[in-house]
Structure 1
Amino acid sequence: MRGGDHRLTRRMAAWDSAWTRRLLPPVEEAAEHTKLWWAAAVITAAGGGWRGRRAAAAGVAGMAVAELSNGVAKQLVERRRPPQEWIPHDDVEDRPDSSSFPSGHTAAGVAFTVAVAPSWPWAGAACAVPTVLVALERVHSGAHYPSDVAVGAAIGVAAAGLVRVAPRILIRPVG
């Protein structure tokens, strides 16, 4: 598995098309510090009435659970970022110093998107596009291996699921 992870990282980092040079750097900038998802929450809440407010609240809650879970996972698993010599472009200089495993950007994006979707499917579908772009960008920039992104996505799905079922569990009558 490690060999495939390494080969896929090198292949994705070597993408040199016009769309990757134009699209992925702004996506990365927007995703820093979850700015993209906070903006999506504001737009969803402001433009979607009660459904939008409910979707935005679920998305923010999912993102918060994912961020907490991802932070714990990063403390438990120390993994170096992909080697700089594998990354043939300048984005490699901007990589974080923290553990590569798992991808927090991906966890937050997937959690937000998956948590929004049950309340407002169209908003969830709209959020899926930048979520996928963020995941691709994390490997292209050399910040993560594909397996880091996959585990980040799994954390995001689990966080969104927890946000969805937690109210039912907490409000359930005893007895």
Structure 2
Amino acid sequence: MTDSPHRIAGYDRAVYRTVARLSTPVLDKPLRRVSDLANFSKLWFLVAGAVALCGGPRGRRAALAGLTAIGATSLVVNQPIKKLAGERLRPDRPGLGVPAQRWVRMPSSGSFPSGHSASAAAFAVTVGGLLPGLRPALRLVASVVAFSRVYTGVHYPSDVLVGAAVGALFGRLAARLALRRWPPPQPNDKCSHSGARARRETRTRRSTGPQ
């Protein structure tokens, strides 16, 4: 049992090194840009703006709920969780073999868990829960953000996985609260109202017909 943390850390570094050895220069620049764009949730503010602009009232509500989920998640991840985790040191990129052309600025905060991954999951799960049509695209973008944090060398895989799990938890909660506050329209209700109105009009025509 006492060896478990060391064993997990060993697996973590092994996966990190495997990603570092990936020979994919075509991805270096795009993933650096994605990682940088996700700083301070800039990427998600842009997505929220597009959703609010194009999605009507439901889009605006979903965007608001998604940004609220990011705020709550960031507050919890960047304060109590990172402190409870003991401010885990960031990976040693040169020592672990991450090519320098992949590097982005190394944050000064603790490594565990990943705030970028937490925010990405929180937004994707919240907005995807309110607008199911966007769910696949949002999950894909959130996954790319999370992977970019390992690819650029600023996080271990476990940082990203735990961050994403925390963000997804907050996202599910935010989506549930938003659906309770703003229930989606029910097509069946509209049909039943239309049917009842049609039946009333039919009865009226019959009662006022030729005598």
Choose between structure 1 and 2 for higher RCO, CA contacts under 8 A separated by at least 6 residues.
Answer: 1
Q: Secondary structure at the match of 1:98?
A: coil
Query: How high is the TM-score relative to the length of structure 2?
Result: 0.75
Who is 1:76 aligned against?
84
Contact 1:135 1:149 in 2 (8 A): yes
SS in 2 for 1:19: helix
For residues 58-137 of structure 1, the aligned pairs below 5 Å read 58-71=65-78, 72-77=80-85, 78-84=87-93, 85-90=95-100, 91-92=102-103, 94-137=105-148
Given residue 120 of structure 1, which amino acid in structure 2 is its aligned partner? L
What amino acid is aligned across from residue 32 of structure 1 in structure 2? N
The answer as to whether partners of 1:117 and 1:123 remain within 8 angstroms in 2 is: yes
Q: Secondary structure at the match of 2:130?
A: coil
C-alpha contact (below 8 Å) 1:87/1:142 kept by paired residues: no
Distance 1:157 1:101 in 2: 16
Residue 163 of structure 1: which of 165, 174, 182 is its match? 174
> What are the ranges of 5 or more consecutive residues in structure 1 without an aligned counterpart?
171-175
Sequence identity (%): 36
Match of 1:173 in 2: none
Partner of 1:42: 49
What amino acid sits opposite 1:69 in the alignment?
Answer: V
- Relative to structure 1, the CA distance from residue 93 to residue 107 in structure 2 (aligned partners, 3 Å threshold; closer, same or farther) is closer
Instruction: Point out the more displaced range, 121-130 or 98-107.
Output: 121-130
State how many pairs are aligned. Answer: 170
Query: Any stretches of 5+ residues in structure 2 without a counterpart?
Result: 1-7, 182-211
Is the Cα contact below 8 Å between 1:62 and 1:112 reproduced in 2? yes
Give the superposition deviation at 1:86.
Answer: 0.8
Give the SS at the match of 1:5: helix
- 1:51 aligned to 2:58? yes
- TM-score (normalised: structure 1): 0.89
Write the distance in 1 (CA, Å) between the matches of 2:141 and 2:27.
Answer: 13
SS at match of 1:35: helix
Change (3 A) 1:35 1:108: same
Is contact 2:70-2:119 (8 Å) kept? yes
